[in-house]
Amino acid sequence: MSTGLSLFIIILTLANIIACYVLIKWSSKQKANEAAEGNVTGHTWDGDLQEYNNPLPRWWLWLFYITLVFSLVYLLLYPGAGNFKGLLDSNQMNDYEQEMSEAKTKYGPIFAAYTKQDIPTLAKNPTAMQAGQRLFLNYCSTCHGSDAGGARGFPNLRDKDWLYGGDPVAIKASILNGRNGLMPPMGAALGSGGLEEVTAYVLNLSGRKADPNFVEAGKQRFDSLCAACHNTGGTGNMALGAPNLTDNVWLHGRSEGAIKETIAKGRKGIMPPHKEFLGNDKAHLLAAYVYSLSQ
């Protein structure tokens, strides 16, 4: 932060505190044109509901003053006034790193002990899975849901349908390294007629009804443009993250319109890597928990 901006923030902050003090003092004084204390002000509502000129209770008024003093003391001790770090030299990042270091010292050996077990064995350990569930709720539930059931664009982790493989090694690799899925847009290459045909063929692959004429033409286009990723027959390719189109499980929606949109405009999915954030030990436990959900 520049010195000029820092000064601006300091002046603005102090000016607001002073303004609050002045406002309290001004509003607590008797005005010349006001009714005497304890008398009716002349304001009446609902026929007989009258306003009296009674001051705030003293304890209530002092609470306002205490909050102003507290704010000044806080700004003197802690960061909050521009570049001024406070007399205690408190730093959020240092505090965070210290807490993380203490947590690692306390809980690190527990996670390290879990890492000595292979994932299928660990997945059968109730105590470990309780810890794994807490990791999942903290780091994964925002996208995949608290029940791991997923949402549109975020895979369901409870079934046996996997984009990159559901074996322990693949799951752990997904957590550690993340995934970058890309379905290129094919609308321009197919044209409107070709889009209808390929959509019909994809619907047919999953056992749904479609125009037979479109299905036959769509198969030829699919084999030419799509089979390189999804394989002939649409069974998918886990090495590429290309989904199986024959199982009627859809990441971005199963309606004809949603499928057509995916083919025409493509999709881009990102699973962020957690290696630097979680480390190998926590990722191992988390992978065991995710693995247990589909077993």
pLDDT in tens, 283-293: 999 999 999 99
pLDDT value at residue 31: 64
pLDDT value at residue 94: 84
pLDDT value at residue 48: 77
pLDDT value at residue 170: 97
Cβ-contact 281, 108 below 8 angstroms: yes
**Other Cβ atoms within 10 Å of 24 Cβ, number:** 14
Q: Which amino acid is at 103?
A: A
pLDDT value at residue 37: 62
CA separation for the pair 204, 207 (Å, rounded): 5
Q: Which residues of the chain have pLDDT under 70?
A: 30-38
pLDDT value at residue 9: 93
pLDDT value at residue 56: 78
| pTM greater than 0.95 (yes/no) | no
pLDDT value at residue 258: 95
pLDDT value at residue 192: 93
pLDDT value at residue 38: 67
pLDDT value at residue 34: 60
- 67 burial (CB, 10 Å; 0-12 / 13-18 / 19+) is exposed
CA separation for the pair 280, 78 (Å, rounded): 36
pLDDT value at residue 35: 62
